[in-house]
């Protein structure tokens, strides 16, 4: 008979406390807000090979 080991409790990625199902994967609304602020402020970034758009070049949606 095979026994299954319980999965280890996930930890909050912000503070390291055990995650709560209501706030998964975080432990609280505070840690959710901290994470959201980090995304909105640009602390977290997704690296790409794309170059920034040239501000002087016309945008296709701009009327000229």
Comparing 60 with 20, the larger pLDDT belongs to 20
Please answer whether residues 2 and 8 qualify as being in contact, where contact means their C-beta atoms are separated by less than 8 angstroms. no
Q: What is the pLDDT of residues 7-57, one digit of tens each?
A: 668 999 999 999 999 999 999 999 999 999 999 998 988 888 888 776 566
Please answer whether residues 26 and 14 qualify as being in contact, where contact means their C-beta atoms are separated by less than 8 angstroms. yes
Measuring CA to CA, which residue among 39, 37, 38, 17 is closest to residue 28? 17
Q: Which helix (H) or strand (E) holds 29?
A: helix 29-40
On the question of a cis peptide bond just before residue 25, with omega within 30 degrees of 0, the verdict is yes
Say what the pTM is.
0.60
Phi, psi (degrees; rounded to nearest 5) at 15: -115, -15
């Amino acid at each position: 008979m095979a026994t299954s080991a319980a999965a280890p409790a996930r930890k909050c990625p912000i503070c390291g406390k055990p995650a709560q199902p209501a706030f998964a994967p975080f432990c609280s609304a505070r840690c959710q807000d901290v994470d959201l602020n980090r995304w909105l402020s640009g602390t977290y970034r997704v690296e790409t090979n794309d170059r920034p758009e040239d501000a002087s070049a016309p945008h296709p949606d701009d009327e000229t």
